[in-house]
Amino acid sequence: MRSEGRGQYWFKPATFEVQSMPKEEVSRRTSSIQSSTHRPLPFLHFRSAGFVAFAYTFTISLSSFLFLSYSQHILVNDYLWAGFNGVTTQPFLCNFFNRNLQISNPTLDIHLNGAIYGAFGSLTNTTDSTIRSSHLYPNLVQDEANANLLNVVQALRNMDSCNLPWIATAYCFLDFGRAWPMAYSPRRQKRCSTQLQNGAIYLESALRNANWLDLTICWGDALSIAFFTPILNTNAGHEWLSATQHNQTSVTDEVAYWQSYNVTTYRTQWQNYKRLGATEYILVENAIGFTYRLTLKQSNSSFQIPAGSSFIMSWSLANDLIQVANNASMLAGRSLIAGSPSFPFENSTSGLKGTLMQQRLLPNPLDLALEAFSASIGPFGVIDLVRVATPPELQLLFHTIQTFLMAKLAMDEAGIQASYRSIYTQYFFTPQPQAWDHVDLWGGDLNCGLNYGGSWNRPFQFFSSAGICGNYFTDYISTPSQNVIFALVAADLVDVNAAKWLTVSNRDADHANTVLKMFNKTVSFVQTFFNHEELTQFATLSHASRGVIRDEVNLSFVQYIQFRDTNMYGLSSVNFFSSSEPDLEFFTWLYLFDWIEGKREVVAFQGDIDSITTISAPVNLDMRPVNGQEIPVNVSTYILRVVQYITIVLFGVSCIVCIYILTSQGYVEGLHMLPFNLIAGHVWVGRPLMLLRGITAVCFLSTSTLELVAPHTGLISYFQSPAPNLFSTFLSSTQMSWLVYVVVDSFSIFTSQYTANYS
């Protein structure tokens, strides 16, 4: 090489020399090749492997589309619950929980699938998308909630302190130490000794947890007159009031303080001057662990002061404070501390009676019915109204008969569903005990006294949570066919002489023919499809329930009565299972089943003289339309779009690959198609979406199928869980490879050369 001028170079011409290989070397290499075990693959092998690769790629694309189709069936909601909708599944599920929360409290540990937990269809055999719950459920559940003192203290601190005096309770003591009694009569003060563990009888329980600024604005003057001024004459009173007003303890420490005085519960009384509300929901958890709410019931609390007929029994501390601060009242300026010089009820409750009359809560003079109540139960104003819970024996009986009937109908042996359809209806009864056949009835609501319009020969409506004293409101039973069957079995009326049915039907004079026809049809159905052993299996439970209701609860029907041709009035009570009323037992069971289902409630009226436990008037169930907007779909919709995107991308790439294989007539390396998903996923999809698709497949495999069915004639519907579909399981399993790809690829940066050992 030489240079001529700046930037120019010249190279010598290239020369090539071919050297021949010695014959010995050629011979050696030829022998080596011929002795080798490796043989070139024939063209036929390459073509068959290519078409296998084509079939494999096509199968991958097809399986992706099949998985997309399966995903569209599952990803209809964020529960990953196939078939769940707001028309049938949501109302059935909500009604299932509402029914079981009402019947068995706490709810039994159950599996949703099974005919025994089914529900009857509508009477018109049409789709019913309403959610039913009991208006009385808040009254029931408050005792359960108040059993936990942590809940009670927190609720007292959260509520509007101006409403604290409206808590439905009759206070026995001002303080937990019981230094200052508050009961309005000596006998009621004596009854307080049986309730010492109840925090609701101590006014201190409310005062310690009040917002004193709000409480003073609303009730400051009245509280000072009624309680604080009388006790500030002592050092103990000063210390107690200061400690109460400046209480800064935590909720846990406050509960410990209550428990130091042996206070373990907080139980309020029944009333009808306010309507309690309740919001209850269930949590549905999917395979990922996300939870979503479904509302079972929702109602708001509200005052209904004008309708509060229970005021004559126990009219709340709020009314006392209003009257204490009212100069025109009989209680003006008086102390509510028993034993203080200005206590208005030191010798009798006439002052309270006069106040009730002054406020026109009691008529002046008392009508003869209220006089009868006062003479037999006790003076007004000091009556404790105690809610009575349904006995476990009765709950078990109802639940056992109900599940048995459901299981029997689900099997549809010998056309039992079609036969039941012929008797499936809603009955209306107005029964009465034999004891009231020859007296004039004047009222059934203990809070109301005489019926304004006069007497009647049918039982008047019993007490009601709605309040308001009506005129000529008769009590009634509205019950479905299944409850009639339950009552027939519980009363052991299936195998009796037909003459017995006649005497029973005569207990409802207005519907005697209807009752008799009902007996004939229903008993015929039961005798046709139920054997003797099936019917008698409930005898022990029926006997136990009957004994508890009769002897322990001592539940009675009540009416204000007048003996004919006399001016004698009285309060008549007939025990639910009185031996003198054998023909009433069938209807008695129907009343009890209404109680179980939350259509009625039972309250004990405990007075200074005696007590009586009775059942309320019926209250129709709350019915609200289902809210389909509660079903979450956002996440499932997003995941479905991801699955669609991946499927479309794979389809596009696989089409290109398949076209290439076809145009190459199969002359490709087939083994290179095995990692098709791996390569296409990383290049065209990306790890995040691959991971999401793999997790989706895992969720599908982790979620069992639960579908709502109504087989045979559609009389009953229930959840069933069919066995997993093998093809769907296999399809989801193949899609888990996306998860494997992402895991292997992500950890390869840590495992390096060892990746091949687990990938």
C-alpha to C-alpha distance for 667 and 713, rounded to whole angstroms: 62
Specify if 578 maps to a domain. Answer: yes
Record the tokens describing residue 592, joined without a space. Answer: 């009890």
Instruction: Write down which residue in 269, 292, 308 finishes a domain.
Output: 308
C-alpha to C-alpha distance for 615 and 493, rounded to whole angstroms: 24
Record the tokens describing residue 742, joined without a space. Answer: 């992402």
429 in the same domain as 572: yes
Residue 22 preceded by cis peptide, ω within 30:
no
597 in the same domain as 687: no
Instruction: Write down which residue in 308, 332, 350 finishes a domain.
Output: 308
600 in the same domain as 659: no
C-alpha to C-alpha distance for 632 and 732, rounded to whole angstroms: 23
C-alpha to C-alpha distance for 329 and 222, rounded to whole angstroms: 13
The position carrying tokens 């006649």 is 502
Specify if 494 maps to a domain. Answer: yes
599 in the same domain as 585: yes
The per-residue pLDDT for 676 is: 80
C-alpha to C-alpha distance for 545 and 710, rounded to whole angstroms: 33
Record the tokens describing residue 509, joined without a space. Answer: 């004079």
pTM: 0.88
637 in the same domain as 581: no
Residue ranges in the chain modelled with pLDDT below 50? 1-5, 37, 43
C-alpha to C-alpha distance for 429 and 414, rounded to whole angstroms: 31
580 in the same domain as 698: no
C-alpha to C-alpha distance for 304 and 273, rounded to whole angstroms: 5
Cα-flanking dihedrals φ and ψ of residue 284, to 5°? -105, 120
Residue 732 domain boundaries? 56-81+631-757
Q: Taking the CB of residue 621, how many other CB atoms lie within 10 A of it?
A: 19
Beta-sheet strands, E only, within 564-690: 569-575, 602-606, 611-615, 622-625
Question: How long is the chain?
Answer: 759
549 in the same domain as 405: yes
Cα-flanking dihedrals φ and ψ of residue 554, to 5°? 55, 50
655 in the same domain as 512: no
691 in the same domain as 607: no
619 in the same domain as 505: yes
C-alpha to C-alpha distance for 613 and 391, rounded to whole angstroms: 14
C-alpha to C-alpha distance for 157 and 2, rounded to whole angstroms: 103
C-alpha to C-alpha distance for 548 and 186, rounded to whole angstroms: 31
Q: What is the largest CA-CA distance in the chain?
A: 153
- Whole-angstrom CA distances from 407 to 252, 365, 391, 399, 403 are 47, 59, 25, 12, 6
Nearest partner of 724 among 32, 190, 70, judged by Cα = 70
Beta-sheet strands, E only, within 352-401: 384-388
The per-residue pLDDT for 46 is: 54
Specify if 469 maps to a domain. Answer: yes
Instruction: Write down which residue in 625, 644, 659 finishes a domain.
Output: 625
Specify if 60 maps to a domain. Answer: yes
Specify if 74 maps to a domain. Answer: yes
444 in the same domain as 516: yes
Specify if 734 maps to a domain. Answer: yes
Give the total number of structural domains in the chain.
Answer: 3
* HEC profile of 496-547: CCHHHHHHHHCCCHHHHHHHHHHHHHHHHHHHHHCCHHHHHCCHHHHHHHHH
Specify if 243 maps to a domain. Answer: yes
C-alpha to C-alpha distance for 489 and 586, rounded to whole angstroms: 9
C-alpha to C-alpha distance for 73 and 60, rounded to whole angstroms: 20
* HEC profile of 467-483: CCCCCCCECCEEEEHHH
Compute the C-alpha angle 67/721/113, nearest 5°: 145
The per-residue pLDDT for 12 is: 67
Specify if 29 maps to a domain. Answer: no
The per-residue pLDDT for 505 is: 95
428 in the same domain as 301: no
Record the tokens describing residue 563, joined without a space. Answer: 């003996």
Say if residues 470 and 489 touch (Cβ distance below 8 Å).
no
Alpha-carbon torsion 168, 174, 179, 185, what sign?
negative
The per-residue pLDDT for 670 is: 75
The per-residue pLDDT for 434 is: 96
